[in-house]
Structure formats: structure tokens, C-alpha cells
Structure 1
Amino acid sequence: MNEVLETLKKIEDKYKLFQQQQFTFIKALERTREEAHDMIRPVSSIIQVQCYKDHHCFNATDRRILNMFVSLCNELRCLCQKMETAHAGDSVTHGLLEKCKLLLNDSNDLTALRAPYPHRVVNFLSVEESKHRYGGVVSLLPIVLDTMKAWVTHSKKYLIPNEKQCERCKYEDPRLGKKAPWVPPGNTSC
């Protein structure tokens, strides 16, 4: 579980850097779509971004930011696999992982995807036309990260045993550490 948490933290840090460069990402998508003569349809999948990067990107900055997006998607896929092997889980964690896998599928249609509040990634897109064309692709990462955080929260709360809980009396008090509130004289097994 610690490995999952460390990996998630590293990915979140990379996403923060990517988020600061969202306008660069949108401009790179616009330039590569123009180069591909594909200005009508919205950017609808990860594989489409990969194709733009591989075949229609001639600017180093554009290539770097598109590669950053694809790389983050790949790292999130790997994290899904780590989460799956971390522990068996229950129906809630399985559902959250399946949602992540579906969203991170290369050919999944992202056009209807929109990040909910408090994420403002779509609101930063200037024109309604841009929101329609790029809203799904900019919403992907925050939604997947939120889903993974929900998986971690649920796993910690319901599936991983609490170390601060006394096995015998099931009493939990964070102020006491691993000690039970009262132990009868001569009994030190807690």
C-alpha cells in the first residue's frame, strides 16, 4: 500500500506541473490538429493525442507537453495495476478501478467527459468551441486522480486493518497510541 501511495504522490506532482502548462497543451493540440487537417472533430481519445504527437508534431515544446500527457496516462495505467495487486478489495474498490481502467483505455471516447467542481480545468478554456473540442481530454487526468484518491481512502478506511486498534477490546483512541484506555491489573496483553 505504501508503494501505491508513493506512486500516486509522484503522479500528482507531475500532474500539478502539467496543469500549470494547460494552455501550452491546448495550443499544442491546436497546432497538431491543424497540421493533421483535423479541425472539425474534437480530441476524443488518448490514442488520438498520441497520433498527433507521433505524426503531426514538429515543434519541440508541443512534443514535450503532448508526451507529458501520454506519459501521465501510462503511469496512471501502471498505478491501476499496482492497486489491483495491492489487495483484493471489495466491490467499491473494484468499481473504482474499473472506472479508471475504462477512462484510461486508449480508444475510450472522452468527448462527454467533464471534470466536476472543484476542478476548473474546463473553465479555463476560453471559447465554448474550445470547451467542446478539448473539454474531455483536459478533464481526464483530474477525474482519474480523484477516483484513485477515493480508492485509497476507501481502502484505508474499510479494508486495511487499523494499527491503533487494540485487538482484544476493539477500542481506538489516537491519543493513546497502541495502549487500551484501561487495562486490569496484571493483564498487559494489549
Structure 2
Amino acid sequence: MDDLERQLKRFQQRYKVFSQQQQTFTQALDRARTDAFQKTAVVRSINQILGWLDHAVHSATDRRILMLFVDMCRDLDRFRQQVEGHNMVREQLDRNQGLRNSLAKWRTLCNIHNDCANVRVTFPHGEVNHLSCDEARNYFGGVVSLIPVILDTINEVMEHLSSPRLSSTQKSNTSQRLSSRQHSGRPAPLGHPNGTVEERHTRFAPEVQQIPILEGKAPQQSQYHGTEVEDLLKDMQQMKWAASRKPWKP
């Protein structure tokens, strides 16, 4: 799991460098469309960019930035294959529907023939905001949103993988605390099924610990709307107050 998280951080660093060259990327796409006599063509897929690289891109700068995008998409798809082959992922695929959905979305986005024209990245990303309204709506909004959406999907996969591990860790910590309480003789927390009726009452009334309470029989309600132990405490307090008063003298 740790090695997968480290690889994800490396991809995030690579994309951070690429996103700083977004204007160069969109200008290269625009020149590639023009040279391919597709000036009004919408950038729809990775395969479309590969076709322009083979037949319409002649500038070394444009080829470099377009290859940077294609290589990163290819590496993200290879990373998906590595994640799907991980032992932890294979164990959870059958019982984790969210993990299966996230992996399927990841697989679809990395497909070179997938139509990404309608893909849009949302807040807190601002890639689409750096484009003009016409470009974002008609030409480059999908392709500039593709990699950040894939990275967000990978984060969802990592969350699905870490949530079962977190729950199992919490269960083990809880069992360890309960076993330590039993060995140390400390009472279980109030309301816990391991806490008996006698423990729950004597924790709030240590003065009457010597009063026995029958096992398996809950105290009955009285006129004070409390338990019998609470009534005894009230009676004892009244007796103590009466004994402390000085006798009345005429």
C-alpha cells in the first residue's frame, strides 16, 4: 500500500510540472489541428492526439509537450494495471463495490479511444478556468481535464483501499483496550455490554457498594422516579441532615 501511495505522489508531481505548461499544450494542439486541416475539430481522445503526432506535428516544442501528455496517460494506465494486480486489491474487489466502480472509471478514462470531450474537472482544480469560454466549451475543456480527473479517481481508489485497513485497526485497538481492562480489574465503560448492573451503579454511588444487588434482577422504579439505590442515598442524606441539626429548645 505504501509503494502505491509513493507512486501516486510522483504522478502528482509530474502533473504539477505539466500543468504549468498548459498554455503551451493548448497552443500545440491548435497548431496540430491546423496542420491536419481540422481547424474546428474537437479534441476527443488520446488516439486523436497520437494521429496528429504521426502526421501533422513538425515543431520539436509541440512534439515534446504532446508526448509529455501522452506518456503520462500511458503511465497512468500502467499504474492501474499494477494496482489491479496488487494482492490487497484482489482481496477486496469481491466485497467492495466502490472500489470496483473507481477502477472501472479509471480504466475508461485511460482508454486511448475513450471520448473525453465531455469530461470536466471541478473545484478545487482550475485548469478549465485558464481557458477562454469558447475553448473550454468546444475544444480543449475535456483534454485538459483528463489527467486531473484520473488523479482524483486514483485518490478514490486509495481511500477505498485504506478504509477497511483503518476499520480493522480500530477493531484491534478496541479489543486490546477491553482485554487490558479485564486484566487490570478496571470496570468496563458505562453502557458497555461487559459492564454489570452492580458496576454501573457503584461507579456513581461508591458509598453504598456494600449494598447487594441481585444478579439478573434490575432495580425497580420508585416514587422518586429513580432506582432503589438512589432512593437509599436520598434517605441517608436526609438522616444525616436530621442528625446534624441541634435539638429545638423552647
TM class by shorter chain equals: 0.7 to 0.9
Cα distance in 2 between the residues matched to 1:127 and 1:159: 44
1:40-189 pair list within 5 angstroms? 40-86=40-86, 87-88=89-90, 89=92, 90-159=96-165, 166=172, 169=175, 182=181, 184-185=183-184
Shift of 1:2: 2.1
Cα distance in 2 between the residues matched to 1:78 and 1:160: 27
Shift of 1:118: 1.2
Q: Percent identity?
A: 34
The amino acid across from 2:63 in the alignment is R
Conserved in 1, the CA contact under 8 Å of 2:121 and 2:145?
yes
Higher relative contact order (CA 8 A, sep 6+): 1
Which range is displaced more, 97-106 or 125-134?
125-134
Which residue of structure 2 lines up, in the alignment, with residue 23 of structure 1?
23
Which range is displaced more, 9-18 or 48-57?
48-57
Cα distance in 2 between the residues matched to 1:38 and 1:79: 33
Matched residue pairs, number? 178
Cα distance in 2 between the residues matched to 1:37 and 1:130: 21
What TM-score, normalized to structure 1?
A: 0.85
Task: Give the alignment's Cα RMSD to 1 decimal.
Answer: 2.2
Cα distance in 2 between the residues matched to 1:33 and 1:27: 10
Cα distance in 2 between the residues matched to 1:121 and 1:181: 53
SS at match of 1:166: helix
Shift of 1:166: 3.1
Shift of 1:167: 6.3
The amino acid across from 1:56 in the alignment is A
Specify every segment of 5 or more residues in structure 1 that has no aligned partner in the other structure, as ranges.
172-179, 186-190
Conserved in 2, the CA contact under 8 Å of 1:122 and 1:131?
no
Shift of 1:82: 1.4
The amino acid across from 2:55 in the alignment is H
Conserved in 1, the CA contact under 8 Å of 2:135 and 2:141?
no
